[in-house]
Amino acid sequence: MRSMEHYRRISKSPTNPRVKERGHGFDVAALYTEPVSISKGHVGIKQSLDEKLRQAYFWITNHAIISPFYDIEYQDGPNQRFVFGDKKVTIELPSGQSYSSYVLLPLLNLAVRRRCLLVGGPGRGKTAVAILMGILAGYGLKDIKRAIQHGQPQMTIADLLGNPLPSTLVNAESMQDISIAWRMWLGMRVKIIDEYNRIPTRTQSALLTIMGDNYAELLDQVYECPESAWYLTANDDGGGGTYQVIEALRDRIDVVVKALHFNTRFLNELVDRIEDKIRPEEIVPVDIVFQEKEIDAMNREIRSISISSELRRRMEFFAAQFEFCESGARQLEYMTKDTVKLAAVDWQAITSDATGKDAIKDFGNQTKNGLSVRAMMTCLVYVKAMAWFRGDTRVSYEDLRQILPFVLHDKLVQNPDSPFFENSEHKAYRSDYISWIRFLFDESCREYERLDLDRDDPVAELATEFEKGLEGVTEQEAVERQVKIERILGEWSKGRKFYSHMYDDILKMKYLHQRYTNYLRWLKWKDA
C-alpha cells in the first residue's frame, strides 16, 4: 500500500537543470524581487512557468497516465544505438531529456491554447488526459466532467450550444427578445469534445464556428467564447467514426496525438492503483495547477521565443516541397495541387506523367496537397512552445524536427500511390505518418545543405537587396538587378529539372522582376 503522498509527490529538484540565460535587458527592480517572490499574503521561491509545466509533465507521466514512452527524442552528446531483426529496426537510447508525445503535446496545447486531437483505441486514456488538462487549468473535476461534450449520433445543435428559454420564446416579438440558456462549457478555457467523429455533420458545422471563430450562434443570438485549449478525442482519426468529419473541422485541428498502447511491464502500477483506490484526476497536486493569468503569461512567453533565420529557411525549404504540381497547369502560378483538386479530376491521371525527377529528392509527389498558411503558423507556435518547455529562449533544429510531424500529421494528405512507397524500406511510412514526416524533413534538410543554401542562396540575396527599399535606386541599378534575376533564371533553366523547392523561388524572382519593371516605368514617368 502506498501513501497518498506518494501519488501527490512532484519533482522538487529542477526538472531540466541548466543555467538560465538572462535576457539582455536588466531591470533594477529585479534586485528586490528575485529569487524569493513576494506577493500579497504569499512568500515563496519564485518558480518559472516552464519549470511548473515540466513538473506537471513529470507528475502526469509518473503518477497519472502510465506512458513510459520517449518518442520525442533529444540527444545531448553521443548516444547508443542497437539494430534488431531482419528489417534492421534501429533502437536509440536518447542521451538528452526526451518526452512522451502523448503527455507533452496536450500540455503544450494547454499553454498555447490551440486544438489538440487525441486518437487511439478505446480505454487508452484519451479522455483521462483531456480531463487532467482541465484540472491543470484550474477547474474542478465535477465541472470538467459536466463540461465534456460526448459525441453521439443524435447530438443536436441545441445539445451542443444551449436552448432558448421557453418563456422568452413564447413572449418574443422579435429574435432579439429571445434569451438563450448557453451551455456552461462554452465559457470554459478548456473545452473537451469526446469522440468528435460521432457528431452528426450538421452539428459539426456549429462546432466548427466555435472552434474556428470562437463564438456560438443560435437564433440570431451570439455568445463570445474565451480563448481556450481544445481537446478532441476520436477512436479513429481517419474519419471512420459514425459520421465523416467535415474537412474544415479536421483542418482546424492543430495537433494530433496518438494514444500509445499499455506497456504490460507496468501492470504493477495498475495493481497499486486498485489496491490504493487512487484516481489520478482526484489527486492532482495544487502546485501544478495553473491560474488563468499564468496560462496567459505562458502564452506571452512562448510567443517571445525566437527562431533563427537559418532555421526558418530550412522550414521554408521543407514547406516549399509540397504545393508544386508541374503537370497540373500550363501557367506557372497555377501549377499547384490545389488546381488539380479544385478541378476534381483524377489525381492519378494528372500526376502519372514521368518527370524524371528523383523520387526521394523531390518528395512533392508523396502528398496530394501543400501546406496552408494555418498549418505553417501552427508549426511555428508549437515549435516555440517546445523550445520554451525545454527552458530555451530560441527554437533549436531538434525542436522543429520533433514537433513538425505532430502538427502536419493531419494536414499533409499522403499519396499512397507514389512510387516512393513501393520501396520495401518505405512501406511502413504508409501507416506511420510521424516517422514519414520526420523522414521528409530530414531529407529536405539534407538537400538544403547539399545545395549549400546557407551560404549560396541567390534568391535570398535578391530579396535582401529589395527589402532595403527602392528609394534612391537609380535606373541603371534597377536594370542591373533585373538582369541578375534573368541570369539566375537562365542558369536554372539549363538542363535542371523543375524541382518542387524551386517553384516558390521562381515565383519570388518573377515577383521581384515585376516590381523592378514597375519601378522603372515610374522612373521614366517621373523624368518625363
Partner 1 sequence: MERRITGPFADILKNDRDLFNLKFNHASRSDRSLNGNDFFDHLTGIVAPLVNLVAGFPNANAKKLACSLYDLSLALFAQGCFGKNPVYPEVLRAWKELFPSVPQFLAEEPETLPAAISNALINLTTEKSGKQLLWLDIMKGLAPLCSDTDTFLNAGKTAAWRCGMAHYREGALEAAKSLSPQIFARVIGLSGSIDSAKTRDVLKNLIKDPWYYPFPLKKNNDKSLAIVAVGGGFQGFGGPFITPPSAKKIKNMLYLYDDEEYRVLHADIFGATLHRAGKGVPKGRSYSDKSFKIGTDGIVCKGNIKKKFPKLAGFSSAVSTSDTLVVCLPGSHRVFLVAFIMGVDNSL
Residues numbered 44-63 forming contacts with partner 1, rule: CB under 8 A: 44-45
| Interaction between residue 468 and partner 1 (CB under 8 A) | no
Which CB, 329 or 460, lies closer to partner 1? 460
Closest contact distance (angstroms) between CB of 476 and partner 1 is 28
Least Å from the CB of residue 97 to partner 1: 17
**Do the beta carbons of residue 82 and residue 91 sit within 8 Å?**
yes
One of 1, 3, 17, 32 touching partner 1 (CB under 8 A): 32
349 near partner 1, judged by CB under 8 A: no
Phi and psi dihedrals of 17, rounded to 5?
-60, 125
Q: How far is the CB of 395 from partner 1 (least distance, A)?
A: 11
Of 394, 426, 510, 513, the one binding partner 1 (CB under 8 A) is 394
* Residue in this structure with the C-alpha cell 505562458, named with its chain if needed: 298
Among 3, 17, 35, 83, binds partner 1 (CB under 8 A): 35
Side-chain half-sphere exposure of 96, counting CA atoms within 13 A = 12
DSSP 90-122: EEEE-SS--B-HHHHHHHHHHHHT-EEEEE-ST
Whichever of 313 and 394 has its CB closer to partner 1, that residue is 394
**26 binds partner 1, rule: CB under 8 A:** yes
Stretch that binds partner 1, among 31-39, 189-197, 275-283, 312-320 (CB under 8 A): 31-39
3-state secondary structure of 364: helix
24 binds partner 1 (CB under 8 A): yes
Which residue number, 34 or 477, has a Cβ lying nearer to partner 1? 34
| Residue 487: C-alpha distances to residues 356, 456, 477, 482 (Å) | 25, 15, 15, 9
Residue 40 touching partner 1 (CB under 8 A): yes
Q: Within 10 Å of residue 480's Cβ, how many Cβ atoms?
A: 12
N- to C-terminal Cα separation, the chain? 93
Q: Least distance to partner 1 from the beta carbon of 343, Å? A: 45
**Residue 424 burial (C-beta neighbours within 10 Å; 0-12, 13-18, 19+):** exposed
Residues in the chain: 528
Number of residues near partner 1 (by CB under 8 A) = 30
Contact flag: residue 92 with partner 1 (CB under 8 A): no
Q: Which residues of 185-197 are buried (b: 16+ CB within 10 A; e: fewer)?
A: bbebbbbbbbbbb
**For residues 13 and 268, which CB has a smaller minimum distance to partner 1 in the complex?**
13
CB of 191 to partner 1, least distance (A): 34
- Pinpoint the alpha helices (H) of 141-238: 141-147, 157-161, 166-171, 201-213
293 binds partner 1 (CB under 8 A): no
Q: What is the per-residue binding string for partner 1 in 404-443, x denoting contact by CB under 8 A?
A: ----------------------------------------
Q: How far is CA 456 from CA 206, 451, 460, in A?
A: 50, 8, 9
Residue 17 CA neighbour count, 13 Å, CB half: 4
| 6 vs 482: CA distance, rounded Å | 70
Among 205, 235, 393, 414, the residue binding partner 1 under the rule CB under 8 A is 393
- In whole angstroms, the minimum distance from the beta carbon of 26 to partner 1 comes to 4
Residues that bind partner 1 (CB under 8 A): 5, 12, 19-22, 24, 26-38, 40-45, 306, 308, 393-394
